[in-house]
Structure 1
Amino acid sequence: MGDFFMKLPDGFRQKFMQQVVSRTSPEDAIRLSSVSKLFQSVADSDVVWDSFIPPEHLCAIDPEIHIYNSSHHLFLLLALLPVYFHQGDDDNYVSAYPIPDCDKGPYMLDQWTGKRWAKTSPLNLSITYLHSDYWNTDWTPTVRHVVWLEIKDKISTFKLSPNTTYTAYLLFCLRNEFYYGFHVPLETSVGIAGEESINQFVYLDPAIAKAECQYIKHRDDNYFEVELGDYFHNDGETRDLEMTLREVKSGKPKCGIGFFMMELRPKRRSINLTHLQVERNTERREVEMPKEGEEGCEDNLFRKLPEGFAQAFLEEVVSRTSPVDACRLSVISKSFQSAAESDVVWEKLLPSDYRNFLCRADDLPDISFASKKDLYLFLIGNPLLIDANTKSFWLDKWSGKKCFMITTSSTQHPDAAHNEEYGDTYGHWRVNANGLSRFVWTPKTDQLIWFEVHGRMSTSMLSSDTTYTVLLVHKREFYDGYNYPVEDPIPFEASVGSREEESLKRVVYLDRKTGETGSQYAVERKDGWLEVELGEYFNKGGENKDLETSVKEVTSGIPKWGYMIQGIEIRPKRG
């Protein structure tokens, strides 16, 4: 298959990817555009965005008013413009303006899914009025003193997108600073008129809704929206969908809320990449690959593709991105998911020499990994001790680059070799077994005046063409064991560089300074240790140099006590 990739004609990769991306959604296309230049070129093409535009919505465009320079721009315009449908006895009509006696719409395009959605008007709300109730019905129905609250609305499924899960929303506003009676739950239902529907309860008081962890959103147009329920629309159905809000049991008067309209919008999926995992609240779409004789695949090459080419093609493309991009791609469709989770992709996303570091591990857990992705997830969260407890190795979550922490060596005062009272005069290092450190032994200063630590490792171990940040990971233990900020921290001199090149020097502070921030000051990590940035180093790759790091303070004469040095961390620079 690799030889076949080399023989592909110019532009084929772009054309094939356009066919794939056009079978996803606008949200997926936007996400793809941030993955790489190839995906950006594909996802921004007119071929892709033309596939997302329903021809019926083009009537909303007025050439004299609406100017656009691409199909993507046209789609964004259409997402802002309503269209109205009318189902007559002899013909169907569509217009950019309301049609007399039209009860079908307006309909809009959802900018994320490309699905059609519907909204109603305050005039269409069906309200149950009792003689004892008082409503203000100027444009937006507003409760002034209402005991029996029952509001209904209907939306025809005439032009809803098929095979789509919709969420119904109620839009309302707080008319008075003083409103009352909405501390009780209100019953909602969403379903086809005359059929059984699923009921749920909501609160319209924003404070109570948030306290109950209920979805409620204060929109930019100053309205609140609350979810009434979900509805799945099958293909070819034309029925009335009824949405209801009701509170008739408490007997408590309600006042101060105005009801604007109801909206029926496609349900969006949610994505959580914090741990490189994906959560979705809709079914994953199946993306069909270009097939022989299919419209849009007029190029004969599409009909001569070898078996399994589509999968191999996507694997080749995804493997040229990054681990986090592979996880983003896996949520787009089953085809992308299959490629983005394959061992072929993750073998290329793992460092080429990862097996070497596994063999050098001091104590590798006896774990069987079901896939290369599982191995990757293990290596980003479980640093391995290697080379006889002198180094720690793991992978950066976002880039897959190699990360290290190395142990340090200390330099004694020059007079130590011929001064029997060195320990009393200049202080000394203690070496402790600390259960909080990755390494077995942790050096700690005890009234030390001459502070100098060094670290060294070969640049051949680092990832190529990568800028690394070098940090000192340490603690300052006072008598009660805490890391306190101090008013006047001691300045230390830091140096980072290779022997063959001039080292970069900077002043750093191993303590946190009260009220000060910046990379030259220590900051607290999630694991409770402190870290301070010593400098940066760009590793070109293909070279075997010694990267040397040092931190020292030898001139002030101030005793330095309580500093525990875990090691020097070398990790890819982010951003």
Structure 2
Amino acid sequence: MDADGSEISRLPAELLASIVSLTSPPDAGRCAAVSRAFLAAADSDAVWSCFLPRYLPQLAKSVLRRAPPSENKKGLFRRLSDQPALLPGKLVSMRLDRATGAKCYMLSARALNISKGETRSCWEWIDLCYDEFREAAQLRGVWSLEIRGKIHSRMLCRNSMYAAYMLFKLADGYTMMDFPFQEASISYGGTSSKRQVCLQAYMEDGDDGVPRKHILKSSWESRLPHSYCLTDDVMVPWKRAND
């Protein structure tokens, strides 16, 4: 046996790197604990070049200036997966999924098409000093709500499953987004998918311990009970883990 305590380290370094590159980024971290030989392979550019997307979008100059001059492929992957990186124009950000390396994008409010978004009586644009984006749209009051966003399919990774989410926050005490339900749709090429969504709802465990979806009682809809159970075909919002 060798100094690492196993015969595995006798394999050529190129073969070890080829083996590790067939796993995933989390598995590469686990492989690094096997032996010194695996550690060298798991940290090599040959492995992390396989985990990085084939085509990375152009990043904003401010993002490039923060990059260490001697950054390797593993460091680049970690940097892009730890925090979002702004693209030129600073209206779209991208990060890498830690488990798969797939590209995940976020559109700023300014990149969306918001109905009556420039009407001051309907929307107000507020500064965001703590976010990667500079502005957010704050709703004042509208009779109809329509928000559209689009992204080119060439920006995504092939053979990857994607989901679209809308990030929003309701003011404390606001109870006018529960009913009637809204319609959310996503289209790709010639296909389209539509779902009913309730923008103001919460999850609550029933008597049997099974979570059930409820909505609040609107001030203008007195016919609805205080806790109205929703069916499974109505989507409800979820709170982000870091909020």
TM-score with structure 2 setting the length: 0.76
Aligned residue for 2:200? 511
Aligned residue for 2:6? 287
- Out of 29, 47, 51, the position equivalent to 1:327 is 29
Contact (CA 8 Å) 1:289, 1:310: kept in 2 or not?
no
1:524 and 2:239 matched: yes
Q: How many residues align?
A: 211
Could you say what secondary structure the match of 2:74 adopts? Answer: helix
Query: Cα distance 1:447–1:376, how it changes in 2: closer, same or farther (>3 A)?
Result: same
1:363 and 2:62 matched: yes
Aligned residue for 2:226? none
- Out of 374, 398, 405, the position equivalent to 2:99 is 398
Post-superposition CA distance 1:50-88 (Å, at most 9, x none) = xxxxxxxxxxxxxxxxxxxxxxxxxxxxxxxxxxxxxxx
State the 1:463 CA deviation.
Answer: 0.7
State the 1:288 CA deviation.
Answer: 3.0
The 5 A counterparts of 1:294-333 are 310-333=12-35
User: Aligned partner of 2:192: which letter?
Assistant: S
User: Aligned partner of 1:381: which letter?
Assistant: D
Query: Cα distance 1:341–1:514, how it changes in 2: closer, same or farther (>3 A)?
Result: closer
Query: Cα distance 1:289–1:514, how it changes in 2: closer, same or farther (>3 A)?
Result: closer
1:384 and 2:85 matched: yes
Distance 1:468 1:375 in 2: 22
5+ residue gaps, structure 1, are 1-22, 24-283, 292-308, 417-421, 529-575
Could you say what secondary structure the match of 1:471 adopts? Answer: coil
Query: Cα distance 1:477–1:290, how it changes in 2: closer, same or farther (>3 A)?
Result: closer
Distance 1:471 1:489 in 2: 18
State the 1:434 CA deviation.
Answer: 2.0
Contact (CA 8 Å) 1:287, 1:334: kept in 2 or not?
no
Query: Cα distance 1:315–1:290, how it changes in 2: closer, same or farther (>3 A)?
Result: closer
Post-superposition CA distance 1:480-526 (Å, at most 9, x none) = xxxx8x6982321100112x313100011222326245781111113
Query: Cα distance 1:398–1:441, how it changes in 2: closer, same or farther (>3 A)?
Result: same
- Out of 411, 418, 431, the position equivalent to 2:115 is 411
- Out of 180, 186, 192, the position equivalent to 1:496 is 186
User: Aligned partner of 1:430: which letter?
Assistant: E
The 5 A counterparts of 1:416-455 are 428-455=122-149
1:337 and 2:36 matched: no
Could you say what secondary structure the match of 2:191 adopts? Answer: coil
Distance 2:59 2:128 in 1: 23
User: Aligned partner of 2:186: which letter?
Assistant: V
Query: Cα distance 1:497–1:362, how it changes in 2: closer, same or farther (>3 A)?
Result: farther
Contact (CA 8 Å) 2:9, 2:35: kept in 1 or not?
no
Contact (CA 8 Å) 2:115, 2:146: kept in 1 or not?
yes
Post-superposition CA distance 1:105-142 (Å, at most 9, x none) = xxxxxxxxxxxxxxxxxxxxxxxxxxxxxxxxxxxxxx
The 5 A counterparts of 1:88-107 are none
Post-superposition CA distance 1:238-273 (Å, at most 9, x none) = xxxxxxxxxxxxxxxxxxxxxxxxxxxxxxxxxxxx
The 5 A counterparts of 1:241-260 are none
Could you say what secondary structure the match of 1:522 adopts? Answer: coil
Contact (CA 8 Å) 2:124, 2:140: kept in 1 or not?
yes
Could you say what secondary structure the match of 1:457 adopts? Answer: coil
Could you say what secondary structure the match of 1:312 adopts? Answer: helix
Query: Cα distance 1:290–1:432, how it changes in 2: closer, same or farther (>3 A)?
Result: closer
Aligned residue for 2:222? none
User: Aligned partner of 1:344: which letter?
Assistant: A
5+ residue gaps, structure 2, are 205-211, 214-231
Aligned residue for 1:373? 74
State the 1:404 CA deviation.
Answer: 0.5
By percentage of residues, which structure has more strand? 1
1:467 and 2:161 matched: yes
Distance 1:512 1:387 in 2: 36
For the pair shown, the structure with the greater C-alpha radius of gyration is: 1
Post-superposition CA distance 1:198-233 (Å, at most 9, x none) = xxxxxxxxxxxxxxxxxxxxxxxxxxxxxxxxxxxx
Distance 1:458 1:487 in 2: 34
TM-score with structure 1 setting the length: 0.34
The 5 A counterparts of 1:161-180 are none
Query: Cα distance 1:497–1:344, how it changes in 2: closer, same or farther (>3 A)?
Result: same
CA RMSD for the aligned pairs? 3.0
Post-superposition CA distance 1:336-357 (Å, at most 9, x none) = 2221111111112111223xx3
- Out of 161, 168, 172, the position equivalent to 1:478 is 172
